[in-house]
Amino acid sequence: MSTLPDAEPTALADSEKVLANLDLAVPGVTRTFDVHDPATGQTIAQVPDFDALQALEAVARADEAGRSWAATTARHRADILRAWYDLIIGNAEMIALLITREMGKPLAEARAEISYGADFVRWYAEEAVRPAGGLRDAPAGGARLLTRRAPVGLSVLITPWNFPLAMATRKIAPALAAGCPVVIKPAPNTPLTTIFAVQLALAAGVPEDLVQVVTTTEAPAFSTAVLADPRVRKVSFTGSTAVGRVLLHLAADNVLKSSMELGGNAPLLVFDDADLERAVEGAFAAKMRNGGQSCIAANRIFVQDGIADAFVEALTERLATVE
């Protein structure tokens, strides 16, 4: 991996410096695909396009690295995660610029995502050292029952494009805290943030090969091959319900532990006694935050009769201000 960028970008134009310092090369993967700035359509980077066989090679590398990681102490893992958190915060502006360039959200929202995403790492750094398992008396007496928790094993993480840092740290950090190796497939629209975040993790002390970033335009082939590999023991996915069904079906053959955050269902209620101005602003934020691309974006608004007409008129005027 390359050394971390030493630039301190403070404006969007400096994102070119961040892009230039990303280490995107993966030995043996020669095919690439373009990553675009959604605001301009400009190609801003080319990243490796793994095929199914290359994805399985990444699984093998992670599995090998994970054997020694699982044997490390919880304190050791916690210290590395805390160092990763510090590097994310220390490079917040660089990450925000990457998020804005590849995902398209305003820079202010990208900066807010840094705090959101970094806090997952801090939380799991602290959770890593908390007691796991327990000892209790057997209900029938005469014995004590010992429960011990152990790393589940190699975890495949599949993340969406709308929060490219936070969804990556939300999945990587608990896996590392528990002692598990990781293969993460970011969305092809927004792979750069994940790549940079993992470079920061390596700089923090995460062992080489423990976290494998697999960028690909062949998601079905990736999932079919990787989830059939007996070295994989868990899959975590955030995305659509339709894709989640497919992944659960694939995971069932090897009885993989599965974590799924699928779709979104977020009704918003407005009652007659609501403050109209605050209700409109709340509805606007709930619907339009992150360009509406959030799992908790309001998808239905229920308004009580007494305030309905005034609310619709005021919300229409507010939405008309969006360019």
Tokens of 87: 């590097």
> Cα 1–187–164 angle (5° rounding)?
75
- For residue 183, give the nearest of 160, 158, 164, 216 by alpha carbon: 158
Contacts of 69 (CB under 8 A, 6+ apart): 77, 176, 179, 180, 181, 207, 210
Catalytic residue from among 57, 109, 281, 295: 295
Q: Is 261 a catalytic residue?
A: yes
Is 47:68 a contact under the CB 8 Å cutoff? no
180 in catalytic set? no
* Nearest residue to 217 via CA among 171, 186, 262, 183: 186
Distance CA 96, CA 12 (A): 9
Catalytic position from the list 57, 218, 261, 281: 261
> How many whole angstroms separate alpha carbon 256 and alpha carbon 275?
49
- Under 8 Å between Cβ of 214 and 55: yes
Q: Which residues are catalytic?
A: 261, 295
